[in-house]
Structure 1
Amino acid sequence: MTQSLIFHGNSELLEGPIFDTKNNCLYFVSIFDYLVYFYNPQTKEILSIKLDSPVSCIYIQEHKKIIVATKNGFFEIDFNTLKKKSVFKIDIDDNVRFNDGIKDPNGRYIIGTMGYPDVKKNIGQVFSYDMGQYKTIIENTTISNGLAFSLDNKWLYFIDTPTKKVAKYAYDLNTGDVQFDSYIIEFLGDGVPDGMCIDNNGMLWIAEWGGACVSQWNPVDGNKIQQLELPCTNVTSCCFDNEANLYVTTAMSASANDIYGGGLYYLELNKK
């Protein structure tokens, strides 16, 4: 594995990396800087747009055009023109903000919430938005985080970070409803699960906040396959590019030795 730091903007909390496989580019956010980033791996171009409240989750629309979740609503951003416009809202309380999310295969926007500015137990939930309507599909969460669909789209994997577990829900593609099935993975070390993604073999890759690594897990038997260490404590999320290599976001920590937290990393697992 070859590891490289490809961006460091002194961010407190980088999050939400998502790779546009059709156009070969990356998006990510700096939550408390209200910034959304576009990165072109070929040209190394980085663009950013600032919103008016904490940003969290990105949904790809087309080349250089995305929808991003902010505390004050969902905005369409066009990196071709560097313009933004409000597109829809999900009503949330003042003491929460949006966090991690995913789009289902039918185009529904799924996104969770957490306490803000203070984390409070069980005040979060996970919403599903479609065609101007939204509903709650998971209730009483604390820090709604990683979401990933199984390769056959029958299961939705979900992380509520303080549980230190990955939950498995049966997912109905027709209705967008979920049904809790079981907890499939439990973290017993220092790291707690944050964002995650799934690889082409159906294995889950999970960023470990406080664990200084990304770990790979088998969701069928719950066993850890491997872990990839990073030079910073708080690892927040990850996604694959078209070569099955990993982009990883991180956050600052209280450690004086943690000078690389808040950076974007590239982990080359498969050399060309």
Structure 2
Amino acid sequence: MMFELVDTIDVKNYLGEGVTWDSETQTVWWTDIEEKQLFSYQLDQRKLTTFDTPYRVCGFALTQQTDVMLAAFDCGIALYHLVSGNTEWLFQFPEGATVRFNEGRTDAKGRFWVGTMNENGDKTGSSGLYRVDTDLSVTKMEADVGICNGLAWNADASRFYMADSSKQIIYKYDFDIDGGDISAKSTFVQLPAHTSPDGAMMDGEGYLWSALWGGSCVARFSPTGEQQNFAVPVEQPTCVAFGGEHNDLLFVTSACYQLSDEALTAAPKTGSLFIYRTNVSSTPRPRFSGDFNHG
């Protein structure tokens, strides 16, 4: 398996996450959750753009309007206008809630799925998984999750994968692409205690790629759960996405979050976006297909 580092975008993210490829503009997007910033990097021109956001963007989806994101902020889900900074709220947590949104991805029908985590340290199942439909309604789809992460689908969207980072488990479900329902939850892989599965994406061969927080690697899991690790030069890789002209580049975000000065000195590129060339490819995630051009 080819896994060759071809570029490093040294942005020193404190908590880089949510990396997403835009095939229409050949641009990669990601967020630094704690610094309340969105980043875009136009691959051909090597142009980096930074957007300051009013709240922490924990997950997001591209939409049919290039200047509008579907943003899962820490406190709720909104249509976020990049230029004006305006937010149109679809869902908000009650004031004082300790739960925040975390990773989000779109399914093959353009619905947005996003999980939550509890910032008070409660990992006993107080978080969940939500679905934003094309009519902009928000539905809670799963409860009893510690830290929801790693949302991915196989090529025909018959299987859905979700990680609970607090339990070091990746689950798989049967997925109904037409109705957007999940069922038949089972354990796909159980990882050791020192590594947590974070952001994930499926390749065209049906293998699941997962950033392993604390593991200094990205893992590739076969459809039956066999694991192959690829080392990265940071302790805390956070999320992966395929993209590039031939969809064979793997983008990997990373984090400095709570690392010691010694750890940062030992890994000076921590917080960077890494770009690897592989010999597999994947289909980019669709844009959110909700109709929000309302009057």
- TM-score scaled by structure 1? 0.90
Shift in Å at residue 228 of structure 1? Answer: 1.4
Deviation sequence 1:243-265 (CA, Å, 0-9, x none): 31100001113324232221110
Could you tell me the percent identity over the aligned residues? 23
Deviation sequence 1:196-231 (CA, Å, 0-9, x none): 001111110010000001011112x1111x221111
Shift in Å at residue 173 of structure 1? Answer: 2.4
1:54 match? 56
Q: Which has the higher contact order (CA 8 A, sep 6+)?
A: 2
Please show how residues 60-139 of structure 1 align to structure 2 within 5 Å. 60-62=62-64, 64-65=66-67, 66-77=69-80, 82-93=83-94, 94-116=97-119, 118-130=121-133, 131-139=135-143
Residues 144 and 160, structure 1, Cα contact 8 Å, conserved in 2: yes
Shift in Å at residue 77 of structure 1? Answer: 4.8
Q: Which runs of 4+ in 1 moved over 6 A?
A: none
Unaligned runs of 5+ in 1: none
Shift in Å at residue 85 of structure 1? Answer: 2.5
2:190 maps to a residue whose letter is E
* Mean Cα deviation higher: 183-192 or 126-135: 183-192
Distance 2:73 2:85 in 1: 12
Deviation sequence 1:57-100 (CA, Å, 0-9, x none): 12111474332221233344556xx3332233323252011101
1:149 maps to a residue whose letter is W
Residue 270 (structure 2) pairs with residue 261 (structure 1)? yes
Given the superposition, is the C-alpha separation of residues 77 and 43 from structure 1 closer, same or farther in structure 2, using an over 3 Å criterion?
farther
1:21 match? 23
Distance 2:92 2:183 in 1: 23
Residues 167 and 180, structure 1, Cα contact 8 Å, conserved in 2: no
Distance 1:48 1:117 in 2: 29
Q: How many residues align?
A: 267
Distance 1:11 1:196 in 2: 19
The alignment's C-alpha RMSD in Å is 2.0
Shift in Å at residue 27 of structure 1? Answer: 0.5
Distance 1:102 1:137 in 2: 14
* Mean Cα deviation higher: 4-13 or 259-268: 4-13
1:223 to 218, 221, 226: 226
Shift in Å at residue 170 of structure 1? Answer: 1.3
Shift in Å at residue 4 of structure 1? Answer: 4.4
Deviation sequence 1:159-209 (CA, Å, 0-9, x none): 011221211111222332211331112213732211100111111001000
Shift in Å at residue 21 of structure 1? Answer: 1.9
Residues 73 and 86, structure 1, Cα contact 8 Å, conserved in 2: no
* Mean Cα deviation higher: 197-206 or 6-15: 6-15
- TM-score scaled by structure 2? 0.84
Residues 70 and 80, structure 2, Cα contact 8 Å, conserved in 1: yes
Distance 1:118 1:48 in 2: 30
Distance 1:144 1:261 in 2: 23
Distance 2:17 2:200 in 1: 11
Distance 2:106 2:89 in 1: 15
Deviation sequence 1:104-127 (CA, Å, 0-9, x none): 222222110001254542111101
1:3 match? 5
Unaligned runs of 5+ in 2: 281-295
Shift in Å at residue 2 of structure 1? Answer: 2.7
Residue 218 (structure 2) pairs with residue 214 (structure 1)? yes
Deviation sequence 1:115-154 (CA, Å, 0-9, x none): 1254542111101122132221110111101100111111
